[in-house]
Amino acid sequence: MTNGPNKDETPSFTDRRTSDDSNAQMPSPSAISEADTVFVTWDGGDDDPMNPRSFGKARKWVIVLIVSSASFCVTATSSIYTSTYTQMEAEFGNSRIISVLGLSLFVLGLSCGPLFFSPLSEFYGRRPIYLVAWSLFVIWLIPQAVARNIATVIVGRFLGGFSGSTFLAVSGGTVSDLFSKDELQYPMAIFTASPFIGPCIGPLIGGFVNYNLDWRWTYYVLLIWAFVMILLIVFLVPETYHPILLRKKARQLRKSPSNAHFKAPIEVSEKSIISSITMSLKRPFQLLFFELMCLNLCIFSAILLGILYLFFGAFPLIFSANYAFNLWQVGLSFLGIGVGLLIGIATDPIWRRIRVRLVSKLGEKSTATGASEPEFRLPPAIAGSILVPIGLFMFAWTSYPEIHWIVPILGSLIFGTGTILVFTGIFTFLVDAYPEYAASALAANTFVRCLFAAIFPLFGSQMYERLGFQWGSSLLAFLTVVMVPFPYLFFKYGKKIRAKSRFAKN
């Protein structure tokens, strides 16, 4: 799961002396000459009718809600599958570990897809990629719904995850296409939250469906949901990627013979699809291998997402054994984590005020007005890193039949709050610390997170069976305790580390 705009993409091509500045006031056709070619830009900046930022507020929010709902649907699909295990195993005769493989491969597909879809969107735009990928997502749900063996389900899961990952990879760019930096906070918060809340809601929906109906109805429900989404995408989500829209504007100008010299910067770009995909595959791993901070923070967020996906197997074990919860009640137990995520998101104004205070203090020490440091993004991660082990230890040592079920769920709520705070701090820090390679830094984070999320469920049930509910959850808590110091250490010493970096801003 990836969260935030693709910062490697930009609607302006400064290397060609072309600007997409919202403050630009230029006569129509707005253009900047270079040799015999005239490069097209926006007339009046954001007020140009072809600029997505000129859309009405209601239209912008409809688009944001649609792409966020698509991300929500994909991540809910990842976890809703866990509620089908019992019925599916009874029909196909496979073991639980084989069933869990379907969860792991879906998440693995989520990690691989962005490496291909993100660069493709730079050439073809966001809308064509959305339409093709979401159509494939719908298509791959069909063999899962009508499968006659577990192999069909597992293959369909991987391909579905790969296709559905488009909205996790590209939608953040759509949100940033629509809003200026001053307006971006709240729409981006909605989009960022959706792929994290989705996995918590999946078991809730799946629990009710599989308790009352055949397991195949899980996929019928997803097909209906996904089909409604594709209709909304077709009719309500236009192209928003600025370079593609500038190309469209240039083509309209060239319909007049006297305007043959008008071009969009993307039309003379020397980048090829192959080179872009190659770089998309290579640079995230360069950051992981050569950047200590990037690697460490990616591992921390990966451990947290791995634990979240491990819980999809652990919660049915714990709450069924201790409290005799049925399938839909187990699904409801995930609301603790979901509410925790929402609480963490609601604290965003607090962290913004803290950052403003830090920026103000830095301004008093330097002559640069409004100067900031990437490390000022880390306070929520520092707080979250403390909350996470507290929540996990509370969950671990209150998981007894004689203790009311609400207490371990409250522990999971604290874990959820800490998790989203860590994610928020890490994502924004990576974007600020690696501004020229932000998309690659986020892609690296997404890959490592999804890799851990694919691996952790494979050993979760066995771990709890051998260690018990208390020590199994405690082992997970100890993993997070090891990571507690790092957000603070990077907050304190990150500037010195960046000074020696070949990729980070310093």
Q: Whose CA is closest to 447, among 315, 289, 341, 311?
A: 289
Q: Is 395 helix (H, G, I), strand (E, B) or coil?
A: helix
pLDDT of residue 369: 53
Is pLDDT above 60 for 207?
yes
Which residues, including other chains, have CB under 8 Å from residue 32's CB and lie 6 or more apart?
A: 17, 18, 19, 38, 39, 41
pLDDT of residue 245: 82
Digit-coded pLDDT (tens) for 225-246: 999 999 999 999 999 988 888 8
- pTM of the full predicted structure? 0.84
pLDDT of residue 371: 66
Strands 31-34 and 262-263, bridge-based pairing: unpaired
The two three-digit tokens of residue 370, written as one number: 């409004």
* Mean pLDDT, rounded, for 392-416: 96
Contact call for residues 475 and 306 (beta carbons, < 8 A): no
pLDDT of residue 433: 86
Of these ranges, 112-121, 357-366, 379-388, the one predicted with the greatest mean pLDDT is 379-388
β-bridge mates for residue 262, sequence order: 38
Q: Confidence class of residue 6 from pLDDT cuts 50, 70 and 90?
A: very low
Is pLDDT above 80 for 505?
no
Do domains 73-240 and 283-506 share one topology? The answer is: yes
pLDDT of residue 93: 94
CA-atom Rg of the chain in angstroms: 24
pLDDT of residue 35: 52
Q: Per CATH, the architecture of 283-506 is what? A: Up-down Bundle (1.20)
pLDDT of residue 355: 87
Digit-coded pLDDT (tens) for 144-195: 999 999 999 999 999 999 999 988 888 888 888 898 876 777 887 788 888 8
**Which residue did the predictor score with more confidence, 34 or 185?**
185
- CA-to-CA distance for 28 and 6, rounded, in angstroms? 30
Q: Is 261 helix (H, G, I), strand (E, B) or coil?
A: coil
pLDDT, mean over the chain: 86
Phi, psi of 2 (to 5 degrees): -115, 145
DSSP codes joined into one string, 304-361: HHHHHHHHHHHHHHHHHHHH---HHHHHHHTHHHHHHHHHHHHTHHHHHHHHHHHHHH
Q: Whose CA is closest to 358, among 417, 432, 291?
A: 432
pLDDT of residue 347: 92
The two three-digit tokens of residue 128, written as one number: 């064509």
* Mean pLDDT, rounded, for 413-430: 92
- Name the amino acid, one letter, at 322: N
- CA-to-CA distance for 503 and 501, rounded, in angstroms? 6
Is pLDDT above 80 for 264?
no
- CA-to-CA distance for 315 and 334, rounded, in angstroms? 8
Q: Confidence class of residue 256 from pLDDT cuts 50, 70 and 90?
A: confident
Fold of 73-240: Growth Hormone; Chain: A; (1.20.1250)
Which residues, including other chains, have CB under 8 Å from residue 204's CB and lie 6 or more apart?
A: 328, 331, 332, 334, 335
> What percent of the chain shows pLDDT beyond 70?
89
> What percent of the chain shows pLDDT beyond 90?
55
**Which residue did the predictor score with more confidence, 252 or 486?**
486
Digit-coded pLDDT (tens) for 439-483: 778 888 888 998 999 999 999 889 999 999 999 999 999 999 999
Q: Confidence class of residue 19 from pLDDT cuts 50, 70 and 90?
A: very low
pLDDT of residue 367: 59
Alpha carbon separation from 129 to 20, 166, 442 (Å, rounded): 23, 7, 20
Which residues, including other chains, have CB under 8 Å from residue 152's CB and lie 6 or more apart?
A: 143, 144
- Domain regions of the chain by residue span: 73-240, 283-506
* Mean pLDDT, rounded, for 357-379: 77
Digit-coded pLDDT (tens) for 73-126: 999 999 999 999 999 999 999 999 999 999 999 999 998 888 888 788 878 889
Phi, psi of 103 (to 5 degrees): -65, -45
